[in-house]
Structure 1
């Protein structure tokens, strides 16, 4: 088992790593200033730690994409690159006491997504029926159809965000009405804030597993999981089975706090599954945890249980001097 540098990349929260057919790993994440989107790439996961980031999009001076650029994800869909991210027009809270983020998409049809900022075209807001706080979009394909999963506030439901799924008409337009598949309900999902966010999808053992993050972004942050048979109707909420306990959480003994907002990739051998996530090594946070820059990107391999479910283990301790 390969042991990677821990953390792999410092001060990068909400990490997303995509292994492309060109043999490169592509990495993007929230930057501490929340003001731009960058990509870095390398032939190995360890190489990402030393790869130079390339800025491919910057926040607007004003308007809907001018504040708090959060959680970009890079996807390759039908021969083009897409990045999903959340942005707001102000740092003020709305009437529900929430930030005012909405979800957006940019597209690049150049084979090299890092060549130039000019190669990226804004596809605008991904609109949902509710005009409310929304973020953390991801997507996946099944049977030639593209599905979109994200977190959003419903003012009629207790808590900050729930998880929704919809089929897509194209990578920036929903085709079907959103279906809520999870909401904060357990005590480990509702510590300080009632949150379900940061969904990620992995397909193994005839099932789709959807991990997500819950509770406040401090040491209470942890990962939950839903699953669904791969032949079931993805848009029927009753088909999604939710675990009643977290699947990945803080390890106080090793001083690993608030692991979450994960994604998945493959190791260099194209077989070993890799969990990508952010984590802190302290709890004494000054001010709002959201503005503490020391959520670092970590990667580690994980195994599978006899019943076909993932076994993520515990967050590995830091291994640098």
Structure 2
């Protein structure tokens, strides 16, 4: 069993690790929510001490000037892309929600830490509402965009949507809703499905996601589909009725979630997530900086389903 230091990287929430051509790249939300910063190393362990390079800083005004959240780095057809959410104000709207929309940067060059980054603007969806936590993946020969968004006609903060892409910053066709908060554990504090991440194993494609408020109630749920089934038909998707990764009071790990997946050089699947090691938060949990990045190997059961286990205790 691989045991990484825990926390792996401190004060980095919504972590994303890309393994590309033998290199590991790390990006995450910073406590100040004001910039996008990358690390690179030739090993997972090396990311802990790797130099962090700021590749973009939010402007003083405009739609990307506040609360830069949940960035992801992707390499698509020879170029680099960073997807993130941002807003023009820290104020809440009339529904009591933040006003984020989704944006993309495009980088050229072999090295994203030294790339020339161009703002590609907002990634627009059919309704102009709170939207965040985008990821992208290739499946059945098509590129897909997967994200969380508030629906005008559905209660709660966000549901999960899937849509084919015309290009890395434009959607194609109509999105389908894959999941909405419906179970009790998805509706604690807030009705939330967010932070989707894709994992393929055997004959199944899995989507993990996070649910409920970002305190100790935060937890992970799971969707899955047969690899040959039509992903645009919601009936083909299965949803776990219980959370698959939750707070461990015994190990003092609270609110594990907003995960991504990467792999070891040997091809073992790694869960990349954040969690706090205390529950006594003063003020809004969003502004508490101590959601630390953590790593854990994914086990697979005899039915080809992931077993995420229990968040391990701190070792540092």
Residue 129 of structure 2 is aligned to residue 129 of structure 1? no
**Cα distance in structure 1, aligned partners of 2:175 and 2:276:** 33
Shift of 1:45: 1.1
Is 1:313–2:309 an aligned residue pair? yes
Partner of 2:282: 286
- 1:87-106 Cα deviation digits (max 9, x unpaired): 00001111221100000000
C-alpha distance in 1, partners of 2:108/2:203? Answer: 32
Q: Please tell me whether residue 63 in structure 1 is matched to residue 56 in structure 2.
A: no
Q: Which residue of 2 aligns with 1:297?
A: 293
Gaps of 5+ in 2: none
Distance 1:49 1:268 in 2: 17
CA distance in 1, matches of 2:245, 2:140: 30
- The residue that corresponds to 2:156 in the other structure is 159
RMSD of aligned C-alpha atoms? Answer: 0.7
Provide the aligned length of Structure 1 versus Structure 2: 316
SS at match of 1:114: helix
- For 1:261, the equivalent position in structure 2 comes to 258
Out of 244, 269, 273, which is 1:273 matched to? 269
Question: Residue 11 of structure 1 corresponds to which residue in structure 2?
Answer: 11
Distance 1:172 1:95 in 2: 29
Q: Which residue of 2 aligns with 1:183?
A: 180
* d(CA) in 2 for partners of 1:173, 1:55: 26
Structure 1 position 139 matched with structure 2 position 136: yes
Distance between the aligned counterparts of 1:309 and 1:60, measured in 2? 43
The 1-side partners of 2:98 and 2:82 are apart by 21
Secondary structure, aligned partner of 1:200: strand
Q: Which residue of 1 aligns with 2:217?
A: 220
TM-score normalised to structure 2 length? 0.99
Superposition pairs of residues 34-183 of structure 1, within 5 angstroms: 34-116=33-115, 119-183=116-180
Give CA deviations for 1:84-136 in whole Å, capped at 9, x if unaligned: 000000011112211000000001121111015xx011110000011000000
1:46 shift after superposition: 1.2
User: Is 2:239 the counterpart of 1:235?
Assistant: no
**TM-score normalised over the length of structure 1:** 0.97
Where does the alignment leave 5 or more consecutive residues of structure 1 unmatched? Answer: none
